[in-house]
Amino acid sequence: MSVHEAAYHADGSLVGKLRRRIARLRHRRPVLRAPDRPMLSISFDDAPLTAAGIGAEILEQWGARGTFYAAAGLAGHFEPVGQCADRDDYLSLAKRGHEIGCHTFSHLDCGRASAQSAKADVALNAQAFRDWGLPPADSFAFPFGDVSSETKAGLAPDFAILRGLHEGVIQEGSDLNQAPAVGILGPGGETKARRWMQYALSKRSWLILYTHDVQTSPSPWGCTPDALARLLRSAADLNFELVTVREGAARLTL
Ligand SMILES: [Zn+2]
């Protein structure tokens, strides 16, 4: 069974929501200073081939690089977001300056897994990166955005930044161990992303956008190439600094 057959959403039960909320209050790594100018990152979760292909090309046309969150266990698999990228795609992306981040090996739900099994799954992904010839991942995205206090504490020491899926911008005081992000998802995704860009600008903060597939008829978790290109044009017009997630985190912690 596909790891994504159930849904891309986090555990939507009250218990799941409370677990994520409580985790947000604990094991924090607060940002100590605001960015010098507003920053924008574009990330692609699960890295379908369309993201590694046309998605990366659109970013490159704007002189930008993206962050691709890879679960090596999904490599080459067909998922609801399309076929996932494989070793050669990731190597090509890395060679062109894109960041390959960690998304666990098996697309593990870190809200329900023990800290021990989450760490073991992340270690498997790190081993796959080494076998493929990729550099170690500096950033991490929780699959489904789901997280518990225990897995957060267990994984935080291994990464410069860990990203969730709750909406928000990153500014002084924000938590790099459970950083917010805004989805470019489905038909309303572009409009929502644009609104958050305006907000990020007004707060001189850092906005991480995420999507999955990039194709003319995207899945409910993806966007069209045109939408992505228009958002990048807006980012340039609004004078955002386009950074990978790794670069963004480094700006705020160095
Ligand atoms: Zn994912």
CA 109 to ligand 1 centroid distance, Å: 9
166 domain-assigned: yes
CA 29 to ligand 1 centroid distance, Å: 23
CA 66 to ligand 1 centroid distance, Å: 16
Backbone angles phi, psi at 154, to 5 degrees: -70, -35
What distance lies between CA 4 and its chain's CA centroid? 16
CA 78 to ligand 1 centroid distance, Å: 13
CA 240 to ligand 1 centroid distance, Å: 26
pLDDT at position 10:
67
Q: Roughly how many angstroms between the first and final C-alpha of the chain, as a whole number?
A: 43
pLDDT at position 86:
97
Tally of domains within the chain: 1
Written as six digits, the tokens of 170 are 């990153």
CA 42 to ligand 1 centroid distance, Å: 15
Whether residue 138 contacts residue 249, with contact meaning beta carbons closer than 8 Å, is answered with yes
248 domain-assigned: yes
Tally of CA atoms within 13 A in the half-sphere of 55 that contains its CB: 29
CA 148 to ligand 1 centroid distance, Å: 17
Residues 6+ apart with CB under 8 A from 220: 185, 186
Rounded-to-integer distance, Cα 197 and Cα 191, Å: 10
CA 103 to ligand 1 centroid distance, Å: 7
pLDDT at position 14:
76
CA 46 to ligand 1 centroid distance, Å: 5
Tally of CA atoms within 13 A in the half-sphere of 228 that contains its CB: 33
CA 144 to ligand 1 centroid distance, Å: 6
CA 36 to ligand 1 centroid distance, Å: 31
194 domain-assigned: yes
CA 107 to ligand 1 centroid distance, Å: 6
Look up the CATH number of the domain holding residue 32. Answer: 3.20.20.370
239 domain-assigned: yes
pLDDT at position 3:
45
Residues 6+ apart with CB under 8 A from 69: 43, 44, 45, 46, 47, 101, 102, 103, 139, 140, 141, 163
CA 194 to ligand 1 centroid distance, Å: 22
Rounded-to-integer distance, Cα 193 and Cα 208, Å: 10
pLDDT at position 22:
75
Q: Is the dihedral of CA 199, 204, 208, 213 positive or negative?
A: positive
CA 145 to ligand 1 centroid distance, Å: 8
Domain span at residue 64 reads 14-253
CA 45 to ligand 1 centroid distance, Å: 5
2 domain-assigned: no
CA 180 to ligand 1 centroid distance, Å: 15
5 domain-assigned: no
* Tens-binned pLDDT, residue by residue, of the chain (254 aa): 344 444 556 677 777 787 777 777 778 888 988 899 999 999 999 999 999 999 999 999 999 999 999 999 999 999 999 999 999 999 999 999 999 999 999 999 999 999 999 999 999 999 999 999 999 999 999 999 999 999 999 999 999 999 999 999 999 999 999 999 999 999 999 999 999 999 999 999 999 999 999 999 999 999 999 999 999 999 999 999 999 999 999 999 87
What distance lies between CA 145 and its chain's CA centroid? 9
Q: How many CB atoms lie within 10 A of CB 238?
A: 14
CA 151 to ligand 1 centroid distance, Å: 17
